[in-house]
Amino acid sequence: MAILIDENTKAIVQGITGYQGSFHTQRMLSYGTKIVGGVTPGKEGESVHGVPVFNTVKSAVDETGANASIIFVPPAFACDAVFEAVDSGIKLVVCITEGIPVHDELRMYWKVKEKNAVLIGPNCPGVISPGKSHLGIMPFEIFSEGNVGIISRSGTLTYQIAYNLTSMGIGQSTVIGIGGDRIIGSDFIELLKMFERDDETELVVLVGEIGGTDEENAAEFISAEFSKPVVGYIAGITAPPGKRMGHAGAIIEGGKGTAESKIKALEDAEVRVGKTPYEVAKIVKEQIKG
């Protein structure tokens, strides 16, 4: 099985006529994703790679029955795009856009919760359920179908760990890049709950990085409520003190948010933490064989 998306997911692309929207629409279509429509105001009646373009999300949903959307619009318009999607009945929104102002991200977060929908991102690589569907910008060639879920704050580390797993003959159920901004739509705990309910996901890899307390919070949840094995990786252990690193979410406060505090929290929750992406894959292989 899988979480969030599968072979029955019907998606639209907001911003389909832009370069990124068009390029990745073609990639997603080539994977077999059901892209049933696109949205660009003023471009209704056109088509992109055979996908019809609509003026509004509402008209696209009414015409196609879409239940998911992936957003490739500039930062200034991303908040409005998310609002339009969930107001039109879309239940899963994947927002690729980076550089969105924090106050817009906060508005997006609460709007999606109000509508009982799911937002992945922003500033993320998307979601893939290998062999079923792909909504995002991931290099899908490195993934394979299987029983390991991945939740990651880092796009490139997601790819590296998935590649190592696939090379060892270990497939993935669903892989989610949640984004590295300070405010994101879905965090580790929300997605761990989904994997808990997925009968075919046997183990979850949690990929974190310095900044914030999401990993510490996830460790508490794993210890108290999560029944499946978890393998962890934390990026940033060699980051120099006092230097801002990478993502907007990489902010260390009050002794929390360091690589050391995250690793300790996870290990206290009986999560084995790899020192390198390759070691993570080796640990997963041992856990699955065990």
Tell me the DSSP string of 180-244.
Answer: SSSS-SS-HHHHHHHHHH-TT--EEEEEEESSSSHHHHHHHHHHHH--S-EEEEEE-TTPPTT--
24, 49, 134, 247: the catalytic one is: 247
**Residue 24 is a catalytic residue:** no
Q: Which residue from 91, 167, 176 is spatially nearest to 130, judged by alpha carbons?
A: 176
Residues 145, 2: Cα–Cα separation, whole Å: 10
For the range 107-115, what are the long-range contacts, defined as Cβ-Cβ under 8 Å and sequence gap of 24 or more? 107/79, 107/83, 108/78, 108/79, 108/82, 108/83, 108/185, 109/183, 109/184, 109/185, 111/82, 111/83, 111/86, 112/82, 112/86, 112/185, 115/86, 115/87
Strand order in the sheet with 47-48: 47-48, 51-54, 34-39, 10-14, 68-71, 92-95, 118-120
> Token match 């969030």: residue?
4
Burial of 205 (0-12, 13-18, 19+ CB in 10 A): buried
The answer to whether 285 touches 236, Cβ cutoff 8 Å, is no
- Give the residue numbers annotated as catalytic, written as ranges: 247
